[in-house]
Amino acid sequence: MAVDPSQPRARRMRPEDRREQIVAAARALALEEGLDAISRRTLAARIGVAAALIGHYTTSMEELVAETFTAISARELAEVRELATARPTPTAALAATLATLLGGERDDVTAVWADGWSLGRRSAPLAGAVLEQLIAWERLMSGILRDGVAAGEFRCAAPEALAREVMGMIDGLNAQALVRRRAGGDPGESEPRIDLVAAVLATELGIPREALGPRPA
């Protein structure tokens, strides 16, 4: 059988290395162009192999998209958890978490989340991955709140419920800012978004607003 010279010649790799190469390419595509940019064709072009080879290592593109979403969200979660645990008090951990999640420096991940909510309506694997990560983020937030209650810094009878509300606010505000920015409009500075969520939390937790960072000028 003749070899099509237009097809890229794949460098021979161990199966586990090839699989990791494909997964890494999927993560990069998602962050640069969105989850819907992931396909056998785009992955093949990115790593310089034939599309058939992608199919050999990925039996389901839906599963690969879900895996990619999980990897991106879990990495961000680990970064934020490390940031929070490095703070000396639960109040400081909460302030740092709000600042990093609402600061506007994570637009690429916010876009992946927006894709996850939209595309997950038609993909059971992706919907499951999104729900799993939603719960993981809520657990991080509720853990900070519980630590604050245990330390006598916060007053909160239902940390899990408040954590869900707060993460919903953060996701909504970030998604709106992302769309405004990409549409050429004014996304608003990050400080008002941080101030809004901090004000709600301060009221719910019975702490001064300033405990969660300075107010915008």
Average pLDDT score over residue span 93-114: 94
Q: How far, in Å, CA of 143 to CA of 149, rounded?
A: 10
Cβ–Cβ under 8 Å, residues 213 and 190: no
Q: How far, in Å, CA of 212 to CA of 128, rounded?
A: 33
The torsion angle over the Cα atoms of residues 146, 152, 153 and 154, rounded to 10 degrees, is 50
Residue 16 has pLDDT above 60, yes or no: yes
Note whether 11-59 and 65-212 share their fold: no
Indicate the average pLDDT of the chain.
91
CA 103 to chain centre: 14
Residue 118: which residues within 8 A CB-CB, separation 6 or more?
Answer: none
Which class would CATH give 11-59?
Answer: mainly alpha
Give the percent of the chain with pLDDT over 90.
74
Tell me: the pLDDT tens digits for 39-94? 999 999 999 999 888 988 888 999 999 999 999 999 999 999 999 999 999 999 99
Average pLDDT score over residue span 4-16: 62
Report the pLDDT value the prediction gives residue 130, as an integer from 0 to 100: 98
Q: How far, in Å, CA of 12 to CA of 21, rounded?
A: 12
Q: How far, in Å, CA of 193 to CA of 198, rounded?
A: 9
Q: 65-212: which CATH topology?
A: Tetracycline Repressor; domain 2 (1.10.357)
Residue boundaries of the structural domains of the chain: 11-59, 65-212
Residue 34 pLDDT class (50, 70, 90 cuts): very high
H helix or E strand, kind and range, residue 74: helix 61-85
Of 58-62, 197-201, 212-216, where does the model show the most confidence?
197-201
pTM: 0.88
